[in-house]
Amino acid sequence: MIARRTYLGWLAGSFAVVWVLLAIDPFDRGDWLLENLLLVAFAAALLASHRALPLSRISYTTIYVFLLLHAVGAHYTYSLVPWSDWVSALTGGAVASPPGARNHFDRAVHFFYGLLLAYPIREVLLRVADQRGFWGYFFPFSVTLSTSVLYELAEWGAAEVFGGDLGIAFLGTQGDVWDAQKDMAFAGIGALVAMAITGALNYALDRDFALEWVDSLRVKRAAPLGEDELRRLWRARKGQGAPEAEQASPPRPGS
Protein backbone atom coordinates (compact mmCIF):
# COMPACT_ATOMS: atom_id res chain seq x y z
CA MET A 1 0.00 0.00 0.00
CA ILE A 2 1.21 3.52 -0.83
CA ALA A 3 2.42 5.42 2.22
CA ARG A 4 -0.33 7.62 3.63
CA ARG A 5 1.67 10.84 3.36
CA THR A 6 2.65 10.06 -0.24
CA TYR A 7 -0.93 9.27 -1.21
CA LEU A 8 -2.34 12.44 0.36
CA GLY A 9 0.41 14.48 -1.26
CA TRP A 10 -0.51 13.01 -4.65
CA LEU A 11 -4.19 13.87 -4.10
CA ALA A 12 -3.40 17.44 -3.05
CA GLY A 13 -0.84 18.01 -5.81
CA SER A 14 -2.94 16.60 -8.65
CA PHE A 15 -5.98 18.55 -7.51
CA ALA A 16 -3.95 21.77 -7.34
CA VAL A 17 -2.77 21.25 -10.94
CA VAL A 18 -6.31 20.60 -12.21
CA TRP A 19 -7.70 23.54 -10.23
CA VAL A 20 -5.08 25.95 -11.65
CA LEU A 21 -5.77 24.77 -15.20
CA LEU A 22 -9.52 25.23 -14.71
CA ALA A 23 -8.93 28.66 -13.19
CA ILE A 24 -7.56 29.84 -16.54
CA ASP A 25 -10.17 31.70 -18.55
CA PRO A 26 -13.37 30.32 -16.95
CA PHE A 27 -16.65 30.93 -18.76
CA ASP A 28 -17.80 33.48 -16.16
CA ARG A 29 -15.12 34.84 -13.81
CA GLY A 30 -17.66 36.24 -11.34
CA ASP A 31 -19.46 32.91 -11.03
CA TRP A 32 -16.13 31.11 -10.78
CA LEU A 33 -15.15 33.28 -7.81
CA LEU A 34 -18.46 32.64 -6.06
CA GLU A 35 -18.30 28.90 -6.67
CA ASN A 36 -14.75 28.73 -5.30
CA LEU A 37 -15.43 30.58 -2.05
CA LEU A 38 -16.81 27.44 -0.42
CA LEU A 39 -14.15 25.27 -2.03
CA VAL A 40 -11.36 27.39 -0.54
CA ALA A 41 -13.06 27.42 2.86
CA PHE A 42 -13.53 23.64 2.74
CA ALA A 43 -9.91 23.05 1.70
CA ALA A 44 -8.71 25.34 4.52
CA ALA A 45 -10.80 23.36 7.04
CA LEU A 46 -9.30 20.07 5.79
CA LEU A 47 -5.80 21.48 6.06
CA ALA A 48 -6.39 22.89 9.55
CA SER A 49 -7.83 19.62 10.87
CA HIS A 50 -5.55 17.08 9.19
CA ARG A 51 -3.29 16.72 12.24
CA ALA A 52 -5.94 16.60 14.95
CA LEU A 53 -8.44 14.62 12.87
CA PRO A 54 -6.73 12.84 9.96
CA LEU A 55 -9.30 11.05 7.83
CA SER A 56 -9.01 7.70 6.09
CA ARG A 57 -7.74 7.31 2.55
CA ILE A 58 -11.29 6.42 1.51
CA SER A 59 -12.66 9.69 2.91
CA TYR A 60 -9.94 11.84 1.37
CA THR A 61 -10.42 10.08 -1.98
CA THR A 62 -14.19 10.65 -2.07
CA ILE A 63 -13.65 14.30 -1.09
CA TYR A 64 -11.03 14.61 -3.84
CA VAL A 65 -13.41 13.27 -6.51
CA PHE A 66 -16.21 15.58 -5.40
CA LEU A 67 -13.94 18.64 -5.42
CA LEU A 68 -12.81 17.76 -8.96
CA LEU A 69 -16.44 17.68 -10.10
CA HIS A 70 -17.05 21.01 -8.40
CA ALA A 71 -13.97 22.56 -10.03
CA VAL A 72 -15.26 21.52 -13.45
CA GLY A 73 -18.68 22.99 -12.68
CA ALA A 74 -17.11 26.25 -11.52
CA HIS A 75 -15.04 26.55 -14.72
CA TYR A 76 -17.97 26.24 -17.11
CA THR A 77 -20.78 27.28 -14.72
CA TYR A 78 -22.85 24.27 -13.80
CA SER A 79 -25.57 24.81 -16.37
CA LEU A 80 -23.10 25.00 -19.27
CA VAL A 81 -20.76 22.05 -18.62
CA PRO A 82 -20.53 20.26 -22.02
CA TRP A 83 -20.73 16.79 -20.49
CA SER A 84 -23.11 15.62 -23.22
CA ASP A 85 -20.53 16.48 -25.88
CA TRP A 86 -17.89 14.50 -23.95
CA VAL A 87 -20.16 11.46 -23.68
CA SER A 88 -21.06 11.73 -27.36
CA ALA A 89 -17.37 11.89 -28.31
CA LEU A 90 -16.56 8.85 -26.16
CA THR A 91 -19.43 6.80 -27.55
CA GLY A 92 -19.11 7.96 -31.15
CA GLY A 93 -22.44 9.72 -30.94
CA ALA A 94 -24.31 6.66 -29.69
CA VAL A 95 -25.26 8.43 -26.45
CA ALA A 96 -26.07 12.13 -26.51
CA SER A 97 -28.63 14.50 -25.07
CA PRO A 98 -31.27 15.81 -27.49
CA PRO A 99 -30.86 19.45 -28.60
CA GLY A 100 -32.24 21.91 -26.06
CA ALA A 101 -32.38 19.33 -23.25
CA ARG A 102 -31.71 20.47 -19.70
CA ASN A 103 -28.09 20.25 -18.59
CA HIS A 104 -28.16 17.75 -15.72
CA PHE A 105 -24.54 18.14 -14.64
CA ASP A 106 -25.52 20.24 -11.62
CA ARG A 107 -28.09 17.68 -10.51
CA ALA A 108 -25.56 14.87 -10.92
CA VAL A 109 -23.07 16.77 -8.74
CA HIS A 110 -25.71 17.17 -6.02
CA PHE A 111 -26.20 13.39 -6.13
CA PHE A 112 -22.45 12.87 -5.90
CA TYR A 113 -22.32 15.33 -3.01
CA GLY A 114 -24.42 12.88 -1.01
CA LEU A 115 -22.77 9.77 -2.41
CA LEU A 116 -19.18 10.96 -1.91
CA LEU A 117 -19.37 13.08 1.26
CA ALA A 118 -21.75 11.07 3.43
CA TYR A 119 -18.97 8.61 4.30
CA PRO A 120 -16.43 11.27 5.42
CA ILE A 121 -19.24 12.85 7.47
CA ARG A 122 -19.93 9.44 9.02
CA GLU A 123 -16.26 8.98 9.85
CA VAL A 124 -16.16 12.34 11.65
CA LEU A 125 -19.38 11.61 13.57
CA LEU A 126 -18.15 8.17 14.67
CA ARG A 127 -14.80 9.50 15.84
CA VAL A 128 -15.90 12.80 17.38
CA ALA A 129 -19.53 12.33 18.45
CA ASP A 130 -19.25 8.54 18.98
CA GLN A 131 -22.38 7.84 16.92
CA ARG A 132 -23.00 4.11 16.71
CA GLY A 133 -25.49 1.65 15.32
CA PHE A 134 -28.55 3.20 13.71
CA TRP A 135 -27.37 6.75 14.49
CA GLY A 136 -24.07 6.14 12.71
CA TYR A 137 -26.06 5.87 9.46
CA PHE A 138 -28.97 8.23 10.11
CA PHE A 139 -26.95 11.27 11.16
CA PRO A 140 -24.55 11.21 8.17
CA PHE A 141 -27.65 11.18 5.95
CA SER A 142 -29.22 13.96 8.03
CA VAL A 143 -26.09 16.15 8.03
CA THR A 144 -25.63 15.67 4.28
CA LEU A 145 -29.23 16.68 3.62
CA SER A 146 -29.15 19.64 6.02
CA THR A 147 -25.91 21.01 4.53
CA SER A 148 -27.49 20.66 1.10
CA VAL A 149 -30.37 22.80 2.36
CA LEU A 150 -27.93 25.39 3.74
CA TYR A 151 -26.15 25.51 0.37
CA GLU A 152 -29.42 26.14 -1.46
CA LEU A 153 -30.23 28.94 0.98
CA ALA A 154 -26.74 30.43 0.47
CA GLU A 155 -27.24 30.20 -3.31
CA TRP A 156 -30.55 32.02 -3.02
CA GLY A 157 -29.01 34.73 -0.81
CA ALA A 158 -26.06 35.25 -3.16
CA ALA A 159 -28.39 35.46 -6.16
CA GLU A 160 -30.47 38.08 -4.35
CA VAL A 161 -27.39 40.11 -3.44
CA PHE A 162 -25.63 40.03 -6.82
CA GLY A 163 -28.66 39.70 -9.10
CA GLY A 164 -28.47 40.01 -12.86
CA ASP A 165 -26.62 37.50 -15.02
CA LEU A 166 -24.22 36.58 -12.20
CA GLY A 167 -27.10 35.66 -9.89
CA ILE A 168 -28.77 33.59 -12.62
CA ALA A 169 -25.50 31.82 -13.48
CA PHE A 170 -24.82 31.03 -9.82
CA LEU A 171 -28.32 29.68 -9.22
CA GLY A 172 -28.32 27.59 -12.40
CA THR A 173 -32.03 26.79 -12.17
CA GLN A 174 -32.39 26.69 -15.97
CA GLY A 175 -36.02 27.74 -15.64
CA ASP A 176 -37.01 24.95 -13.24
CA VAL A 177 -38.96 26.40 -10.30
CA TRP A 178 -38.38 23.17 -8.33
CA ASP A 179 -34.63 23.12 -9.00
CA ALA A 180 -33.60 23.63 -5.36
CA GLN A 181 -35.94 20.93 -4.07
CA LYS A 182 -34.76 18.44 -6.71
CA ASP A 183 -31.10 19.22 -5.95
CA MET A 184 -31.67 18.54 -2.24
CA ALA A 185 -33.56 15.33 -3.04
CA PHE A 186 -30.69 14.06 -5.20
CA ALA A 187 -28.18 14.85 -2.45
CA GLY A 188 -30.35 12.88 -0.02
CA ILE A 189 -30.61 9.94 -2.43
CA GLY A 190 -26.83 9.94 -2.86
CA ALA A 191 -26.34 9.87 0.92
CA LEU A 192 -28.85 7.03 1.27
CA VAL A 193 -26.96 4.99 -1.34
CA ALA A 194 -23.65 5.65 0.41
CA MET A 195 -25.03 4.63 3.81
CA ALA A 196 -26.72 1.56 2.31
CA ILE A 197 -23.40 0.41 0.83
CA THR A 198 -21.57 1.14 4.08
CA GLY A 199 -24.21 -0.68 6.11
CA ALA A 200 -24.14 -3.71 3.82
CA LEU A 201 -20.34 -3.98 4.12
CA ASN A 202 -20.46 -3.64 7.90
CA TYR A 203 -23.26 -6.18 8.13
CA ALA A 204 -21.19 -8.65 6.15
CA LEU A 205 -17.91 -8.07 8.01
CA ASP A 206 -18.81 -6.99 11.56
CA ARG A 207 -20.01 -9.79 13.84
CA ASP A 208 -21.34 -7.24 16.35
CA PHE A 209 -23.33 -5.27 13.77
CA ALA A 210 -26.79 -6.40 14.95
CA LEU A 211 -25.90 -6.05 18.65
CA GLU A 212 -24.57 -2.53 18.17
CA TRP A 213 -27.62 -1.56 16.11
CA VAL A 214 -30.04 -2.80 18.78
CA ASP A 215 -28.04 -1.21 21.61
CA SER A 216 -28.05 2.15 19.83
CA LEU A 217 -31.86 2.18 19.97
CA ARG A 218 -32.03 1.20 23.66
CA VAL A 219 -33.21 3.89 26.09
CA LYS A 220 -30.12 5.03 27.97
CA ARG A 221 -31.83 7.31 30.49
CA ALA A 222 -35.32 6.53 31.76
CA ALA A 223 -35.93 9.84 33.56
CA PRO A 224 -37.62 12.52 31.42
CA LEU A 225 -35.84 15.78 30.59
CA GLY A 226 -37.58 19.07 29.81
CA GLU A 227 -38.98 20.70 32.94
CA ASP A 228 -37.55 17.91 35.15
CA GLU A 229 -34.04 18.56 33.86
CA LEU A 230 -34.48 22.31 34.31
CA ARG A 231 -35.62 21.73 37.90
CA ARG A 232 -32.61 19.49 38.53
CA LEU A 233 -30.24 22.11 37.18
CA TRP A 234 -31.94 24.84 39.20
CA ARG A 235 -31.75 22.84 42.44
CA ALA A 236 -28.15 21.90 41.76
CA ARG A 237 -27.33 25.57 41.24
CA LYS A 238 -29.00 26.45 44.53
CA GLY A 239 -27.34 23.54 46.33
CA GLN A 240 -30.61 21.78 47.06
CA GLY A 241 -29.75 18.45 45.43
CA ALA A 242 -31.51 16.71 42.54
CA PRO A 243 -35.21 15.74 42.38
CA GLU A 244 -36.15 12.18 43.33
CA ALA A 245 -36.68 11.06 39.73
CA GLU A 246 -33.19 12.19 38.84
CA GLN A 247 -31.63 10.56 41.90
CA ALA A 248 -33.28 7.26 41.03
CA SER A 249 -32.10 7.27 37.45
CA PRO A 250 -28.72 5.84 36.38
CA PRO A 251 -25.83 8.28 35.89
CA ARG A 252 -25.69 10.04 32.57
CA PRO A 253 -22.99 8.99 30.13
CA GLY A 254 -19.83 10.93 30.84
CA SER A 255 -20.83 11.93 34.34
Q: Which pLDDT score is estimated for 196?
A: 97
d(CA 118, CA 144): 6
Q: Which pLDDT score is estimated for 253?
A: 42
- Residue range 164-180, pLDDT digits in tens: 666 666 666 666 778 88
* Interval 14-25 mean pLDDT: 95
- Residue range 47-57, pLDDT digits in tens: 999 889 999 99
pLDDT over 60 (residue 241): no
Is 36 domain-assigned?
Answer: yes
Number of domains making up the chain = 1
Is 188 domain-assigned?
Answer: yes
Domain encompassing residue 72:
4-216
Instruction: Say what the pTM is.
Output: 0.84
* Interval 147-163 mean pLDDT: 82
**What rounded mean pLDDT belongs to the chain?**
86
Least confident of 25-29, 58-62, 143-147, 177-181: 177-181
Is 232 domain-assigned?
Answer: no
Is 240 domain-assigned?
Answer: no
